[in-house]
Structure 1
Amino acid sequence: MPAYSKSRFFRAGSLWLCLSAVSAFLVFLPVLALALQAAQGSDGLWSHLLATTLPVAFVDTLILLTGVGIIVAIVGTSAAWLVTAYDFRGRKILEWALLLPLAVPTYIIAYAYLDILHPIGPVQSALRALLGFASPRDFRLPDIRSMTGCILLLGFVLYPYVYIPTRAMFLTQSSSLIDAARTLGVTRNAIFWRVALPMARPAIAVGISLALMETLNDIGAAEFLGIRTLTVSIYTTWVTRSDLPGAAQIALALLLIVVCLVSLERWARRKQRFSSSAKRSQQFTPHKVSATRGGMFFLLGLTPILLGFVFPAIYLATEAWKRMRFAGISPRLYDEIINTVILASVATIVTLTIGLIVAYAIRLRPGNASQWFFRFSTMGYAAPGTVIAIGVLIITGAADHFISQIAMSWFNMSVSLFLLGSGAALIYAYLVRFLAISAGSIDAGFNRIPVTYDQASRTLGETATGTFRHIHLPLSKTALSAAALLVFVDCVKELPATLLLRSLNIETLATHLYGEAARGTYEEASIAALAIVAIGILPVIVLSRVGRRL
């Protein structure tokens, strides 16, 4: 290749690397702003919080994380082994149906079950009629507004985070290992505990950590169910006390918990080193069971699907139908759908663009620098939306103040809340929160393209940008589409950042649902909730199609 071509390609690679560095800085900036704001202190806050809020919030957060972690580990791992190790009627249905709870955000599951299990709701009313009781005073189930209720509801929504990687791990395990274990006298039931489970520990650990980070990000379900977590404490300190430095300090404490969770997950699998030859290993073959046992297995696999998706979906559809028959669809709901789609679409375009930059920089300049920029760019996904929202508010608030001063001094005009009022701050929060999804998916797509294509392009004198436009983009359409879909749906479902950073008088489907549920007018929010669930099913369809190709 000519020397000038090499030099031109190297300069282009440096440009992409610089753009990747800027992207990493944009993601890291809210965390830095959070630390600087927290350093300002808050007079009397910590003495007040230590006396009233933090002990309860910290203990409740730890109990919630422990309980949810146990539930998702048991349900997710058991379901993955059930549909992988055994062959029974209905197994193919369970394989994809077990993904359905991913379509239901945590705040919607709490919203639905609060009404379903209300003392005068359909379940308890039917039980009293069946048992001959006339009043809720005579008979009522334990209140769903409790720590136990919150753990169970979140666990049966978040278990797919464990089910997906664990099932993939089980499917890739060589059947020769199972045969060797049987030869050595290990019973079929003991194979799970002595062979399959130890090898799947890394996947289980990753799934649990993702589920726990989603639990920390939750604000709606915990507040609806009366659990005072650190995330709820951040929201109340900021909104109720109007104490931004204090909220920043609690947010940093929550961020520290996230770092500890990630570190603990990596430490737990630090010695896990398993490998198998894909060419020599035989595919894992499920064991055929009797019709009676297969029916029991199907009911077991169906239970988390019913609790995590079917019952809430039926409730939402029923309430939405009642609402539409009684009063039709409110014109306000159309505005909320438009707001939701516009914000999510703009955020998806921005996030996808930045993700392309970060992923292509690694392609052009593989090395420590591009790898570190990639890691910093994707760190936002581990931070709860409330934490990111506070950091973004600090940055955009300072930027709005600067823009206002410039506009007044140069043009003698008042410009206030330019970023916060236009929705740019919320788009920025979405970018920081979901850039990991975009960059990770695109990087995986780029890795499927042989490096020889890049080399051939250079030989023909093409620039790095031209190679990107003519080779990598066309060959990465599937990865780009999947990334765009996942980012869009996550933006639609995101509640904490949207709730805290949306413009005045702007409502989305998520914030509308939160407001109605907080007021106890559940029927008013049923249509919005059903719309969010319907949109959330889209990535589940994609994941189910991927699962069939494993």
Structure 2
Amino acid sequence: MPAQAANWEDRIGETSRARSGPARRPFRLTAWQAVAYLVAALVILPILTIAGTAAGGDGELWSHVLANVLPQATKNTALLLIGAGCIAAVVGTGTAWLVSAYDFRGRGVLEWALLLPLAVPTYIMAYAYLDVLSPLGPVQGVIRAMLGYDSPRDFRLPDLRSMWGAIMVFGLVLYPYVYLTTRAMFLTQAANQIEVARTLGAGPFSVFWRVVLPLARPAIAVGTSLALMEALNDVGAAQFLGVRTLTASVYTTWIIRSDLPGAAQIAIAMLIVVVALISLERWARRKQSFAAGVQRARPMQPQRLTGVKSGLAFALGALPVLIGFVGPGLYLLVEAIERIEFAGFSGALISATLNTVAYSAIATILVVALGFVLAYAARIGSGRLTTASTRLAVLGYAMPGTVLGIGILVPVAFFDRTLDATMQAWFGYSTGLLLLGSGAAMIYAYSVRFMAISAGGIEAGFSRIPLAYDHAARTLGQTATGTMLRVHLPLSKRALVAAGLLVFVDCMKELPATLLLRPLNVETLSTMLYGEAVRGTYENAAVAALIIVAIGMLPVVLLARTGRMES
């Protein structure tokens, strides 16, 4: 009987396989896929933690947040995003069209100089202009001297600590995101479309408004959504300028009021805003195939400007650079020189610089390594689970630092407490706050937030390596790991270096996650600057701000070189 049963089972199996077609290959989990799944799980963990923490709050807490915190914070956040988004879109699109459609003296300088505001974090821009434009600052002092006033009581400019001040600061710092994406679109637009419009009698403004702008709307929307996500992540500039945004509310609710469930509930509202921005970006890309169809056409030739028109074009293009980079940069340089001459390099500044470099370097090595694994797993894997995991692993860039801080604190603190209790029970040894106290939680936050930069940059480098190289290596007996070591790693060194540089500088500039997860009595350049600015001692933070801006210029130079190579 057992033999007959086994025979019938074999026949049934053969019949079912014959009906269903060829047998499916068994699922095989490679090491690359396993790491990709692990990274995706670590990215999803903060989101699940936030949802659980928010649900753990009582009903009275929810009603208090809904009645007293969310309405004003949401209104301020919406006004800030709308205003800053409009300025970033107008300035970024206008400057991109200026340097793409016209040729004038100084155009080559503006092509890369317009990226320089990216080197200035928003909180440094706010910190610099708060001091420059204060009633006792140099700008108002010069204006009063020209008008014959002696005291700030007689004449003073409107206070920068307002919504309009925050909108101007954010818009003039974040417009390069729109400039980058829009200029790339302008450089690929076909010349015949513009020439046909001109032959039909359309003027320069009509050509731009009726032909160029509709085709560039997806790129403008993508760049604007990136700028808005950066604005949503900010906490320092909003607090400096007196604007109570959702991000600032999360920070104050958690740190000042010690209300973690309430902060998690506000973070849920922020995630809803982020989802809306991501939906906007995807909606803008729904016609990407249409926009990409003109890339093989003849590109347009810039129109030559001379005389007064050339000077006016250069002045218009240079204005955002002067306001967004040169002005605060010169102020920081002067203040830093005066501070160094007066007090030299303090021990606290040296310690903060070393901490910043150390934590950023460790996070960069980890993020680049994991980003390489994600990009390679996506290249060699074809299953839905692999694709979904690689997409989930890069969602961290869309989560503001304060949201990440809340989502990471709870599981990390639970792990620290569990490990400490276990070690005390078994070995009589206390490990204390191992992850929180060592800065590992902060590195975790950096890794989750900037994984998209690493994986995206390395994946772009992989796209330049033909798949034929993979097939040739495998036919010669190389495994997936051997192919990676002998083919992909040597050919993607430039992409690895570029991704590492971008991640390192972003880690140095990151403020919200650093404020919330740094170890006790540990200062970085960003937290040191934030603390001095909150206390009103702006001059003490000038050196730290200048170091951040100087290092932040590295990715700007990289982006400028990449843009020249592609154009």
- Structure 2 length normalisation: TM-score? 0.93
Find the partner of 1:335 among 351, 354, 361.
351
Residues in 2 aligned to 1:101 and 1:236: alpha-carbon distance in whole angstroms: 28
Tell me the residue number matched to 2:392: 376
2:276 aligned partner, one-letter code: C
| 258-267 or 26-35: bigger deviation | 258-267
Shift in Å at residue 181 of structure 1?
1.9
Question: Which amino acid letter does the alignment assign opposite residue 261 of structure 1?
Answer: L
Does structure 2 retain, via aligned residues, the 8 Å contact 1:13–1:365?
Answer: no
Which of 353, 364, 367 matches 1:348?
364
Does the 8 Å CA contact 2:189/2:294 hold for their aligned counterparts? no
Larger deviation, residues 287-296 vs 340-349: 287-296
Question: How much has 1:18 moved relative to structure 2?
Answer: 1.9
| Structure 1 residues 283 and 324: alpha-carbon distance in aligned structure 2, compared to 1, 3 A threshold | same
| Equivalent position of 1:510 in the other structure | 526
Q: Give the Cα–Cα distance (whole angstroms) in 2 for the partners of residues 176 and 382 of structure 1.
A: 38
Deviations along 1:24-63, whole A, 9 cap, x unmatched?
1111111111111111114632333344332211110110
Report the more deviating stretch, 208-217 or 46-55. Answer: 46-55
**Residue range with higher mean Cα deviation, 493-502 or 234-243:** 234-243
Alignment-derived partner of residue 293 in structure 1:
309
| Aligned partners of 1:13 and 1:361 also within 8 Å | no
3-state DSSP class of the match of 2:291? coil
**Distance of 1:263 and 1:335 partners within structure 2:** 42
Q: Quick check: 1:525 aligned with 2:525? A: no
Count of aligned pairs: 541
Structure 2 CA distance, aligned partners of 1:139 and 1:274? Answer: 52
The answer for the alignment partner of 1:85 in structure 2 is 101
Q: Does 1:408 align with 2:424?
A: yes
Q: d(CA) in 2 for partners of 1:511 and 1:459? A: 53
Measure, in 1, the Cα distance between the counterparts of 2:303 and 2:238.
41
1:220 aligns with 2:236: yes
Match of 2:492 in 1: 476
* Separation in structure 2 between the aligned mates of residue 342 and residue 186 of structure 1, nearest angstrom: 57
Q: After superposition, what is the alpha-carbon deviation per residue over 1:468-489, rounded to whole angstroms, capped at 9, x for unaligned?
A: 1111001000000000000000
CA contact 1:12–1:464 (8 Å) conserved in 2:
no
Cα 1:152–1:277 change in 2 (3 A) is closer
Report the counterpart of residue 4 of structure 1 in structure 2.
none
Q: Which moved more, 1:409-418 or 1:146-155?
A: 409-418
Partner of 1:314: 330
Superposed counterparts of 1:120-135, under 5 Å: 120-135=136-151
When structure 1 is superposed on structure 2, of 46-55 and 290-299 the one drifting more is 46-55
Measured in 2, the distance between the counterparts of 1:46 and 1:278 equals 52
1:53 alignment partner, SS class? helix
Shift of 1:271: 4.5
**Given the alignment, which residue of 90, 95, 109 partners 2:125?**
109
Aligned to 1:425: 441
Under a length normalisation based on structure 1, what TM-score does the superposition of the two structures give? 0.96
Query: How far, CA to CA, are the matches of 1:269 and 1:422 in structure 2?
Result: 42
Of structures 1 and 2, the larger Rg is shown by: 2
Over the matched positions of the two proteins, sequence identity in percent amounts to 59
Does residue 466 of structure 1 match 2:470? no
Task: After TM superposition, give the deviation of residue 269 of structure 1 in Å.
Answer: 4.5
Contact 1:162 / 1:208 at 8 angstroms: preserved in 2? yes
Matched AA of 1:201:
R
Matched with 1:276 is 293
User: CA-to-partner distance for each residue in 1:80-99, whole Å, 9 max, x for gaps?
Assistant: 00000011111111100000
User: Is it true that 1:169 corresponds to 2:185 in the alignment?
Assistant: yes
Q: Any stretches of 5+ residues in structure 2 without a counterpart? A: 1-25
Could you tell me how far 1:196 is from its partner in structure 2? 1.0
Q: Which has the higher contact order (CA 8 A, sep 6+)?
A: 1
Q: Quick one: distance in 2 between partners of 1:236 and 1:158? A: 25
Deviations 1:242-299 (A, max 9, x none): 11111111101111110011112323453462343544x2222100123101111111
2:417 maps to amino acid: H
In structure 2, C-alpha distance between the alignment counterparts of 1:400 and 1:21, rounded to whole Å: 24
The answer to whether the 8 Å contact 2:188/2:294 transfers is no
2:493 aligned partner, one-letter code = K
Name the structure 2 match of 1:18: 34
- Cα RMSD (Å): 1.5
In 2: Cα distance, 1:467 partner to 1:338 partner: 38
Q: Is the contact made by 1:442 and 1:476 (CA closer than 8 Å) also made in structure 2? A: yes
Describe the superposition over 1:494-542 as per-residue Cα deviations: whole angstroms up to 9, x where unpaired.
0000000000000000000000000000010000000000010000000
Note the C-alpha offset of 1:329. Answer: 1.0
1:184 to 200, 222, 226: 200
What CA distance in whole angstroms lies between the structure 2 residues aligned with 1:47 and 1:17?
A: 44
How far apart, CA to CA, are the structure 1 residues paired with 2:551 and 2:376? 30
Match of 2:375 in 1: 359
Q: Aligned with 1:44: secondary structure? A: helix
Is this contact kept in 2: 1:12–1:463, CA < 8 A? no
The farther-off stretch of 258-267 and 484-493 is: 258-267
- For residues 68 and 271 of structure 2, the distance between their equivalents in structure 1, rounded to whole angstroms, comes to 21
Gap regions ≥5 residues in structure 1: 1-9
Change (3 A) 1:369 1:50: closer
SS state of the match for residue 274, structure 1?
helix
Partner of 1:5: none
Once the two structures are TM-superposed, the CA of residue 313 in structure 1 deviates from its matched residue by 0.2
> In the TM superposition, what whole-angstrom CA distance separates every residue of 1:109-128 from its partner, at most 9, and x where no partner exists?
00000000000000001111
Tell me how far apart the structure 2 counterparts of residues 46 and 318 of structure 1 sit (CA, whole Å).
48
Report the CA distance shift for 1:171/1:537 in structure 2 as closer, same or farther (over 3 A). same
Residue 455 of structure 2 is matched in structure 1 by 439
